[in-house]
């Protein structure tokens, strides 16, 4: 009823392999883009930007990156926090060394550097799989955080050991530092998220995505039909690292402004992004958005309900928040182990037949 693909005929293979093969989806996608680019920047304020929109956009990029690695290529990684830190520190060093270069280039370069670092730590994946690989990437997490803490060159020998984003502008509009208007920071992140999502979708629907999924589903069979496992795994690490690096750079430069590595990019960050990917749905770009939205929004919603509606003390709500988020994650994984993306697919199946389910 609300959702139909009947009568939506394809006459070429290009049409059949496009990102949104169903017209209704396509229209909705353009509407979402129009609202995100054309409407929200005019309505945004500091609270919405900092509490919800910026973290959502940035975590979505990180979740897409990790989803490519874990969901598409099947290589478990617990090093996301560390890789985000690489992006952040690369961006910081670039910003301070080349102040006149555009932030767009800095963020992309930071992503590229993180991609290379990610490939380096992905090398063990050629020999080890599953939990053992997870432990190996955990080593990356701790090593990278230690490195950024202990080598003063990375934080430009500042006394506090922190890195602070200097004020930078794009086309005359300030986008970093405390004076940046919220709509500008929002748009900057949104542009990166849109580009990342499109690139991720293109990669995963084509040859590259198929060789990743082949490696994920059955590596022996993948090798026998001609997938070079070394190349497939390392490109997955590189592409994933690029996205995670971009998100790390944005997280530091646009969102936080000042970063202490152990606090901002610790192991909890790795788990947070991994939860987003698992709750959202492994092997789904939409799932990355859904997972990021879920874990960013849930604490905010709980806080609003607890403090503003029920009138509980703030500290109790803060503690309850952790308990409830944890419980919901467990609940979700039991009810729908394939994540929100699967829930969405099931809902679409149901809606197609509604209100006559037979």
Which residues of this chain interact with other proteins, rule CB under 8 A? 12-14, 16-17, 199, 202-203, 206-208, 210-211, 213-214, 216-218, 220-229, 235, 239, 283
Residue given tokens 């993306």 in the structure block: 341
Q: How far is the CB of 76 from other proteins (least distance, A)?
A: 16
Of 106 and 216, the one with the shorter C-beta distance to other proteins is 216
Taking the C-alpha atoms of residue 134 and residue 125, their distance in angstroms, rounded to an integer, is 9
Taking the C-alpha atoms of residue 54 and residue 352, their distance in angstroms, rounded to an integer, is 34
Q: How far is the CB of 119 from other proteins (least distance, A)?
A: 13
Q: Are 169 and 33 in contact (CB under 8 A)?
A: no
Of 7 and 226, the one with the shorter C-beta distance to other proteins is 226
Q: How far is the CB of 110 from other proteins (least distance, A)?
A: 18
Taking the C-alpha atoms of residue 263 and residue 81, their distance in angstroms, rounded to an integer, is 10
Residue given tokens 């040859």 in the structure block: 207
Q: How far is the CB of 218 from other proteins (least distance, A)?
A: 5
Of 96 and 342, the one with the shorter C-beta distance to other proteins is 342
Q: How far is the CB of 55 from other proteins (least distance, A)?
A: 26
Q: Crossing angle, helix 285-303 and helix 314-335, to 10 degrees?
A: 150
Q: Which of 319, 57, 313 shows the shortest CA–CA distance to 190?
A: 57
Of 227 and 264, the one with the shorter C-beta distance to other proteins is 227
Of 140 and 222, the one with the shorter C-beta distance to other proteins is 222
Of 145 and 200, the one with the shorter C-beta distance to other proteins is 200
Reported residue count of the chain is 358
Q: How far is the CB of 203 from other proteins (least distance, A)?
A: 6
Q: How far is the CB of 238 from other proteins (least distance, A)?
A: 8
237-246 burial: b if 16+ Cβ within 10 Å, else e: bbbbbbbbbb
Q: How far is the CB of 132 from other proteins (least distance, A)?
A: 22
Of 25 and 223, the one with the shorter C-beta distance to other proteins is 223
Of 210 and 348, the one with the shorter C-beta distance to other proteins is 210
């Amino acid at each position: 009823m609300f959702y139909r693909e009947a009568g939506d005929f394809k006459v070429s293979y290009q049409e059949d392999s496009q990102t949104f093969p169903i017209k209704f989806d396509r229209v909705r996608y353009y509407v979402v883009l129009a609202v995100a680019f054309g409407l929200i920047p005019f309505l945004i304020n500091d609270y919405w930007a900092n509490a919800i929109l910026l973290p959502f956009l940035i975590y979505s990029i990180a979740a897409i990156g990790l989803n490519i690695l874990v969901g598409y290529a099947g290589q478990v990684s617990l090093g996301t926090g560390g890789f985000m830190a690489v992006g952040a520190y690369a961006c910081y060093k670039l910003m301070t060394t080349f102040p006149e270069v555009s932030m767009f280039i800095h963020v992309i370069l930071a992503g590229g550097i993180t991609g290379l670092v990610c490939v380096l730590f992905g090398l063990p994946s050629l020999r080890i799989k599953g939990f053992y690989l997870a432990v190996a990437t955990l080593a990356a997490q701790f090593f990278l955080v230690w490195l950024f803490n202990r080598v003063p060159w990375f934080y430009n020998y500042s006394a506090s050991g922190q890195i602070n984003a200097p004020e930078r502008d794009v086309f005359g509009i300030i986008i970093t530092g405390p004076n940046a208007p919220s709509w500008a920071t929002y748009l900057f992140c949104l542009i990166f998220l849109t580009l990342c999502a499109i690139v991720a979708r293109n990669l995963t629907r084509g040859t590259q995505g198929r060789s990743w999924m082949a490696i994920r589903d059955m590596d022996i069979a993948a090798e026998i039909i001609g997938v070079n496992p070394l190349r497939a795994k390392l490109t997955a690490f590189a592409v994933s690292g690029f996205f995670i690096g971009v998100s790390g750079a944005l997280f530091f430069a646009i969102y936080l402004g000042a970063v202490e590595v152990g606090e901002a990019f610790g192991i909890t960050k790795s788990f947070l992004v991994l939860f987003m990917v698992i709750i959202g749905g492994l092997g789904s770009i939409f799932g990355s958005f859904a997972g990021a939205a879920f874990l960013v929004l849930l604490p905010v919603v709980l806080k609003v309900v607890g403090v503003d509606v029920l009138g509980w003390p703030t500290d109790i709500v803060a503690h309850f928040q952790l308990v409830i988020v944890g419980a919901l994650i467990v609940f979700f994984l039991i009810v729908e182990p394939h994540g929100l993306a699967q829930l969405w697919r099931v809902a679409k199946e149901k809606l197609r037949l509604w209100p006559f389910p037979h």
